[in-house]
Structure 1
Amino acid sequence: MDKTLKRMATMHRMQVTGLDLFYRNGYFNTSIDDILKALNLSKGAFYYHFESKEDFFISIIQNLVVQKFYSHMIEPIEGQQDPLNIILKTLEDSLETAEHNQFDQGFMLTNFIAEFNGKNPEVMKYLKDIFQIWEVNLVSLLQKGKSDGFIARHVDSEGVATYVIASYTGIRTMMVEGNASSLRYQYIQQMRQYFKTLAQTEMA
């Protein structure tokens, strides 16, 4: 295998394992030694690829967290018609995935934001940027929905996007404590009723 490809494959394996450890245990509760033990690597091998634990985590955000978030929350809504139904479906699909994840520790992005808040501005910027991308895509879809006649003209797209993000991150946190199936059902039912008040025409 080409040396560059081999190095990329090694880094990817390290990032996947690192993300799992950081998500389950928290960034500050995960040491370099924990990472090395999980990967069966020496310190020299780790520092060959990454300058520090922080550098390692930032690479995980850039290469894995953004990708996971984009594929689950943004890609499904891009360029779609009937925005309210597609947003609702995306939320429900994501919650259903979480419900069946026996290792669910809550919404990854908000977990990391809560952990880094006030401690590391550089990492916080990377994390907040992901939320901003989500918000921008939601607002764009909602605005298009208004132009296409799916959403009432008076609707505040920015306000709806903020509510969707805040309510979703809240229910994800609650689902960790138990009754995930019931919470998911109740949340989706309430969101469906809320979206009906925004629709120009009757939702499916």
Structure 2
Amino acid sequence: MEKSLKRMATLHRIQMKGLELFYSKGYDHTSLDDILKALDLSKGAFYYHFQSKEDLMISIAENVLFRKVYSMLIEPLEGQSDPFLAIERCLGDALETAENNELDFGCVLGNFRNQFVGRNAAITKRLDDIYKVWEVNLVSLLQKGKSDGYLPRHLDSEGIATFVMSSYFGVRSLMASGNGRMLRYQYMQQLHAYFRAMVASPVG
């Protein structure tokens, strides 16, 4: 049992340090030696858990990134009634967390996808799977909101989900080098106006 816990702890350390370095320096600019040096770890210990740097990145996407996105952007929406109110609260909290993170370089998931799309199909697929889980949950929440009478039935749930996701990733990128507090305020004001306009608009 003790050896198993130690292996799990080492696995987690490698994943977290890999995430930190891949995120701050970029995947291509981070070597395996960089990770081992930062952890004071042998190559043997690394290869016990992972076959390669790519295998580590896939593991980070499937485990660490998925948990991060789920806890911040999906779990807060579960069991909520009013979809627009729930999404506003969820994104507002996520942006406030990012605003107060001195090591934030923009959205982790968005940054990584930009690094790998068109260059590494295996890693891109894992990242896109996370997008898909978030999208499915957003659409399900919106559809339920229509059924429960919170939203007009004519609204395009898929289109709204696409807008929410893309706009969130966009403002996160802007916040990385701009006035985070102001950008968060402006974004949330416009998101609120966008939602309220749809609720108030008649069919057609």
TM range (shorter): over 0.9
Give the deviation of 1:2 after TM superposition. 2.4
8 Å CA contact 1:151, 1:200 repeated in 2: no
* Map of 1:154 onto structure 2: 154
* Map of 1:70 onto structure 2: 70
8 Å CA contact 1:150, 1:200 repeated in 2: no
Give the deviation of 1:199 after TM superposition. 2.3
The answer to whether residue 19 in structure 2 is matched with residue 27 in structure 1 is no
8 Å CA contact 1:81, 1:145 repeated in 2: yes
Which structure 2 residues correspond to residues 27-176 of structure 1 after superposition, within 5 A? Answer: 27-176=27-176
Query: Structure 2 length normalisation: TM-score?
Result: 0.95
Can you list the C-alpha shifts for 1:109-130, whole angstroms capped at 9, x where unaligned? 1111110011110110000010
Give the deviation of 1:200 after TM superposition. 6.2
Query: Structure 1 length normalisation: TM-score?
Result: 0.95
* Map of 1:183 onto structure 2: 183
Can you list the C-alpha shifts for 1:141-173, whole angstroms capped at 9, x where unaligned? 000001111111111101000000010000000
What are structure 2's unaligned runs of at least 5 residues? none
Q: Percent of counterpart pairs with the same letter?
A: 59
8 Å CA contact 1:149, 1:200 repeated in 2: no
What are structure 1's unaligned runs of at least 5 residues? none
Can you list the C-alpha shifts for 1:31-68, whole angstroms capped at 9, x where unaligned? 10110011001112111211100111111111110001
8 Å CA contact 1:83, 1:141 repeated in 2: yes
Root-mean-square deviation (CA, aligned residues, Å) is 1.2
Secondary structure of 1:29 counterpart: coil
Size of the aligned set, in residue pairs, is: 201
